[in-house]
């Protein structure tokens, strides 16, 4: 009797574990890699260099993506506890001074961007990088529209402001590349010997 019960329970457990096993038919499932912890210095270095990229004299090439916004979204999605809205706000103010924009315009846009990224970060991470970029494009567009709305309110907008939306699309297209680049230090194997064939 007892052995029969055990056998039934064992079978059930096996069935349950079989249902939990990742499906092997059809699309192959990516193995999930456990990432190493990120170094704060790396976060600040990438944020700083993205900001410097924005400071380059791009002039009227308004299709150039906003590198800082993109990097900000990346760290908001992957490390929301380390990079938050305060960082976005402060860098936004710096950007305003550089661009000669109204004080607070970029700060508002980056704050909204950061909030969106932080509230979506659990959802976004489930998707592969290609699909993530659609979310990212939405976030970047919202930030740009916020900035355009401020301009319209002040009255300084040109009828060609929508050309700038191109930069959001380009930024989103760069997302998979950025993900690969910025996650690479965390994807390193724990021991250096693991990469060596011998």
Partner 1 sequence: MEYGPPPLFNQGVSARARLAFFSLVAAALIIIDAQVNALDAIRNGVEILLFPVQRVLLWPRDLAVDVGDYLTTLGSLNEENARLRLLAVEQAKLAQQATQLQLENDQLRKLAGVRERVNVPAQMVVALYESRDAFSRKIVIDRGKKDGMRAGYPVIDEAGVVGQVTRVFPLTAEVTLLTDKEQSLPVQIARNGLRAVAFGGQEPETLELRFLPANADIENGDSVVTSGLDGIYPPGMPVAAVLHVDRDVKDQFARIVLKPVAGMSRSRILLVLLADPPPLVPAAEGARAGPSGNLRGDRAPAKAARR
Interface residues toward partner 1, by CB under 8 A: 52, 54-62, 64, 84-86, 88-89, 92-94, 97-105, 107-108, 111-112, 115, 118-119, 148, 150-151, 154-161, 163-164
Output the smallest distance, CB 121 to partner 1, in A: 10
Q: What distance in Å separates the CA atoms of residue 129 and residue 45, rounded to the nearest whole number?
A: 23
Task: Give whichever of 51 and 183 is closer to partner 1, judged by the CB atom.
Answer: 51
Output the smallest distance, CB 32 to partner 1, in A: 21
Complete DSSP assignment for 6-37? HHHHHHHHHHHHHHHSPP-SSSPPPPPPPPPP
Complete DSSP assignment for 134-198? HHHHHHHHHHHHHHHHHHHHHT---TTGGGGHHHHHHHHHTHHHHHHHHHHHHHS-SSGGGGS--
Output the smallest distance, CB 17 to partner 1, in A: 28
Task: Give whichever of 10 and 67 is closer to partner 1, judged by the CB atom.
Answer: 67
Task: Give whichever of 64 and 174 is closer to partner 1, judged by the CB atom.
Answer: 64
Task: Give whichever of 129 and 170 is closer to partner 1, judged by the CB atom.
Answer: 170
């Amino acid at each position: 009797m007892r052995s029969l019960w055990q056998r039934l329970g064992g079978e059930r457990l096996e069935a349950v574990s079989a249902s939990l096993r990742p499906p092997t038919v059809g699309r192959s499932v990516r193995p999930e890699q456990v990432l190493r912890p990120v170094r704060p210095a790396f976060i600040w270095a990438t944020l700083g260099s993205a900001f410097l990229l924005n400071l380059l004299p791009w002039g009227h090439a308004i299709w150039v993506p906003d590198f800082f916004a993109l990097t900000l979204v990346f760290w908001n999605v992957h490390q929301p506890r380390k990079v938050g809205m305060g960082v976005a706000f402060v860098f936004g103010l710096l950007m305003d001074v550089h661009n000669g924009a109204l004080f607070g315009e970029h700060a508002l846009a980056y704050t909204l961007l950061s909030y969106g990224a932080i509230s979506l970060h659990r959802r976004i991470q489930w998707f592969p990088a290609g699909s993530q970029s659609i979310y990212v494009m939405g976030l970047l567009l919202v930030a740009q529209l916020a900035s355009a709305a401020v301009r319209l309110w002040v009255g300084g907008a040109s009828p060609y402001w929508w050309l700038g939306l191109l930069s959001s699309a380009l930024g989103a297209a760069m997302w998979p590349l950025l993900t690969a680049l910025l996650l690479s230090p965390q994807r390193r194997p724990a021991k250096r010997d693991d990469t060596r064939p011998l």
